[in-house]
Structures are given as structure tokens and as C-alpha cells.
Structure 1
Amino acid sequence: MTGGDTTVLRVAGRPVARYVTRPELPARLSPRPYLHPVTTLAGTAVTELSPADHTHHLGVGVAVPDVEGHNFWGGRTFVRDQGPTELDNHGSQRHVAFQLRDEDGFVAQLRWMAAGAEVLRERRTVAATGLTDTAWALDLTFSLTNVTERLVSIGSPATNGRPGAAYGGFFWRARKEATAPDVFTPATEGEARAHGRPADWLALAGATWTLVFAGATEQTRRDPWFVRTGEYPGVGSSLAYGERLPIPPGQTAVRRIVTVVADGRLDREQAAALVRKAVTP
């Protein structure tokens, strides 16, 4: 399934993530570059690749279910008044080149292709930074530029008629364990209260690990979080929560998510402190 070129990210010499640029995947999974496995500094894996419950979940990356009707998420497409439907509308993200590549990060260019044409061009910047002896941060920025001569808009199942399913953008498929992880933000606890709401940061705590996701720009902080813990463990951003996100010709939509990857179960105070350290220039 991996195939192609890969890059290993390291923190203080320890491998913490592998980035696969050209995965060999069937079209219905919307082939795209991804990070997997991502691990804590102690070596605990905190991502899953193509799990049985959602084979189109590919570690950590950028996935969008509706770009002008093209599916860059994988799996079925939600059709208004019809529901999840198998369609031949899958796009793919094609790695073009690394503009910079070191052991602690890279800058890559990607082409979002659908029906034989380029719809979006992406500049993706990823960096791995040590925070403490038990925590590091994955900093991911993606910039989507409309390279067509017409307006391109990004949607979600929510904007297409499925309430609460506003996934699309940054997405992290986390490690599935016997017990669902806990989720909390600076002011709330639990999936029901965290899902669909913006928050400066959101934490997902498993048996021996914690992930803390933070929007690192004003626009990113305004995006509501997409959260799942009961059905499966996953956290993402919502580019199109209440309405479609338009990108005019030549314009660019930019988002930046910084994720703290920690060994152990953090409390609210510890999570907030690590986020401050990870996001502060």
C-alpha cells in the first residue's frame, strides 16, 4: 500500500513520523500523501492506516469530501436527499516535488487532480519540533490555491444535507484501543460538547498517550472541530461547517494546525502549557 517515495521525520534523532508521497491505493480511497505511522517519543503509534471501519482514513493528512463535486476524502459521497452513495467522482492528490526536505520537516507541492484536470494546487509545510522529554509537536500548514479560471468551492456532507458531518480539511485518524479516548477542550469535555464547535485547542487522550490539536492562525481557530471518539477516534478541522468555502480564481485558502504528541495522559493544565510552547514563535 505504501510504495513510492517516503520521508522520515525525526526529533532529537528519534524517528516520529513517516510521510508517504506516492501511495499505491485504489481510486475509491482518493489516493493522497499521508503521515503514518506517527509515534510518541517512546514509540507508541498514534495513527492508523486504512482501518477496517473506514478504509479511506489514511493516518494524518488533508482530505476534503467535496471540491466542486469531486471526492478527495475517499469512500462514499453524501448526496442530498439520497444519502451516502458510491460514485465515480474520486480525485487524487499528486505529490509534485519537495521544495525543502530535512529530517525535521519539509515543504512539498501537490496537485489536486479530478477528471484529468488540476483543480487545486497545494503547498504543504510540515515540521517536527521537540517540546519536552515526553512530547513533541507536528506543525502542518496547507495552502490551497485555485488554479482554474472559475470559482471553486469546498463543501462537506453537512453543507450537502447531513447535519453534524462537517468533516473536511486537516484530519488525524488516531489509534483505536479497547476503550474510547477522552476528549476535552479548555472549556468542555466529551465528544458531544466538543464536536462542531471552535476552540483554541482540543485534546484526545488515550490509554498511554495524548494528542492536543491547536489552530495556529486566527482563521484556523474559527473553524469548528470535527470530533469522533465513540465510533472511532479521529479529529479534524471543518473547512465547510455551515456553508461552502469559496476560493476565487487565483486565490488561496490557508490553514495551520499544530498537534502536540505526548506520552502519558495529560490534564487540562498540562495540555494548555504544551500548546503554548508549541505555538508561540
Structure 2
Amino acid sequence: MTSLPSSPSAATLSVDGVAVARHRDGADVEPVLSPRPYLHPVRTLGGTVVTEVCPDDHRHHLGVSVAVPDVSGVSFWGGRTFTRDRGSVLLDNHGRQEHLEWLVEEDSRRVEALSWTDPDGAELVREERTWAARRVGADAWALEVAVRLRNTSGRPLSIGSPATNGRPRAGYGGFFWRAPIAAEPPRCLGPGVEGEDALHGSRADWLALAGRSPEGREWTLVFVQDGPDRDPWFLRAAEYPGVGAALAWAERLPLPEGGGLERRVVTVVADGRPDPAALAAAARRRP
């Protein structure tokens, strides 16, 4: 893992006085990794770290972030871009999500304004993002990530993925959570279904990872998409542990001039092995 220097605008999310997540503005991230705000470390209430940043296998994975591989050709994901004619290649197409200001600053809730710019610095998208934390049980808390995007480029845009560019079942892009690698891959669960192959690309009502830290401490993450628009799940477990909600799983997603989109993902972070279905129900209860 590559360590990153501390960001000057780092901020903490807390639950009942317990620090559970650190926000970084991403200004110190290398341009080729598509700089963007992210959360790391994210911890259980018992202190177990459940995020990873700049791992050797995918240096552009940054804890919890909103990462999109293709906004009309600009990468807000980082690393290589999949192309139909050459496969995955490193292009000079990396954009940047710049933190502009805090709109809300509270111990358990922060709202930030972001500008998504292309390699030349021109704004394509303006975003309002909410990061909010709340307790949902004795050993669990929930992280809400709510995204509101607006096309400010002055022209129609569209969101794509490696899948829409010709790589089957690689429709990632959007909310993304990178968890740490341990000796064994995490168990993957959904309502009435289990396994990476069964859940990858599904629209399961919820998705859970049950893993261990490198030190052997058990943790459980339960992901719920909360809102009218639910995207297919992008899931990795055997290669590395990661979960995303895929905006462009099989087809490009239009983003008209002046138009926008909204998404909300709630993730329950728990110590041990609690019932994931109960955690999913707790995630949907409004505070």
C-alpha cells in the first residue's frame, strides 16, 4: 500500500463522539489516479479499519469515493482506460474532483460542493455530496453517501464504463468502497443468495461483505441503495474486496445539458457477524 500525506482539509465524521471516518479532499492524489475526495480510514465502532487506499493491486482505489471511469471520455476513476481497439491503456484523460467548500459542517454530517473538471481544467459537472454517519445498533453504524450531479459543461454528456466500451461485466463506476485484503476473501451475501458470481451485476435488495481484517478481526459491511433509481451491483471478492453501484452497467447513461442525477447508498459498518438482513432494514430506517 502507498501511504498518502495528510490533507490540509481532512475532517472527521463521528458517531456519539467516536471518530469513525476521515474525509480527505484528494488534493494530494497523483493526477494519473484521478484526484477526488474520499473517506479513509473508515472504522467499525470497535476500531477495525474497513477501507483501503492506494493498494498495490489498484493504486487508484481510494477508500470510499465516487469514481466514474468515463464522463464523455474523461476518467474520474484513475489508472488505465479500457478501449475497444487497444484494451486497457494509460491515456492522458484523467479528470479531477475538486472540493470547493463545505456547505454543512457537523460532527456526524458534512455536505460539500465539488467541481468535476477535465484535464484542461474545464468544469463538466458540479456536485453536492452528503456524507453522514449515524448509529444503528450497539455494534454498528451507518454511512450515507448521497450524490447530486448537475451537468454544467454547456453540452450533453454521458457516463460510460469499461463494459459500455466493450469489456463484458465490467460496468463499474459510481459509488465505490474498497475494503482491505486479508488472508481469505470476504463472504458475499444477499437476500436468499450467496457468492460473488451470483451477486455481481444483480439488483439485489442489499449486498453484504463479511470479512476479517489482516489482524483477524471480524467485520461486516451491508450496502443498500436507497432511492427510486437502483443500479446493478459491481462486486469483487476473490481478486480484492470491493463493492460499487454501477451507473453504466451495460449502456451509457445520458446526462443532458443542465440535467442531473441523484443517488444514495447507505452502508452499515459492523463489528462481528450480525444478521445482514436486519442491518439492511436498519439502514433504510430514516433517522
TM-score if structure 2 supplies the norm length?
A: 0.94
> Of residues 7, 10, 14 in structure 2, which corresponds to 1:3?
7
> Of residues 252, 264, 267 in structure 2, which corresponds to 1:244?
252
Runs in 1 of length 4+ with deviation above 6 angstroms?
none
> Of residues 117, 126, 131 in structure 2, which corresponds to 1:126?
131
- CA deviation after TM superposition for structure 1 residue 4, in Å: 2.2
Partner of residue 96, structure 1: 100
Partner of residue 211, structure 1: 221
Whichever residue aligns with residue 14 of structure 1, its letter is V
> Of residues 253, 259, 280 in structure 1, which corresponds to 2:267?
259
User: Do 2:224 and 2:283's aligned partners in 1 also have CA atoms closer than 8 Å?
Assistant: no
* Aligned-partner Cα distance in 1 for 2:146–2:130: 5
Matches within 5 A, 1:1-281: 1=4, 2-114=6-118, 115-207=120-212, 208-219=218-229, 221=230, 223-266=231-274, 270-281=275-286
User: Do 1:4 and 1:22's aligned partners in 2 also have CA atoms closer than 8 Å?
Assistant: no
**Identity across aligned pairs (percent)?**
54
Which secondary structure state, in structure 2, belongs to the residue aligned with residue 206 of structure 1? strand
Structure 2 residue runs without a partner (length 5+): 213-217
- CA deviation after TM superposition for structure 1 residue 160, in Å: 0.2
Whichever residue aligns with residue 252 of structure 1, its letter is G
Whichever residue aligns with residue 244 of structure 1, its letter is R
Which secondary structure state, in structure 1, belongs to the residue aligned with residue 197 of structure 2? helix
- CA deviation after TM superposition for structure 1 residue 199, in Å: 1.1
TM-score if structure 1 supplies the norm length?
A: 0.96
User: Do 2:27 and 2:98's aligned partners in 1 also have CA atoms closer than 8 Å?
Assistant: no
* Aligned-partner Cα distance in 2 for 1:186–1:43: 28
- CA deviation after TM superposition for structure 1 residue 107, in Å: 0.6
Whichever residue aligns with residue 24 of structure 2, its letter is V
* Aligned-partner Cα distance in 1 for 2:197–2:26: 36
Moved more, 21-30 or 54-63: 21-30
Whichever residue aligns with residue 261 of structure 1, its letter is V
Whichever residue aligns with residue 195 of structure 1, its letter is H
Partner of residue 215, structure 2: none
Give the aligned length. 276
Which secondary structure state, in structure 1, belongs to the residue aligned with residue 267 of structure 2? strand
Structure 1 residue runs without a partner (length 5+): none
* Aligned-partner Cα distance in 1 for 2:278–2:62: 29
- CA deviation after TM superposition for structure 1 residue 111, in Å: 0.2
* Aligned-partner Cα distance in 1 for 2:190–2:110: 29
Which secondary structure state, in structure 2, belongs to the residue aligned with residue 148 of structure 1? coil
User: Do 1:140 and 1:258's aligned partners in 2 also have CA atoms closer than 8 Å?
Assistant: yes
* Aligned-partner Cα distance in 2 for 1:81–1:181: 35
RMSD: 0.9
- CA deviation after TM superposition for structure 1 residue 27, in Å: 0.8
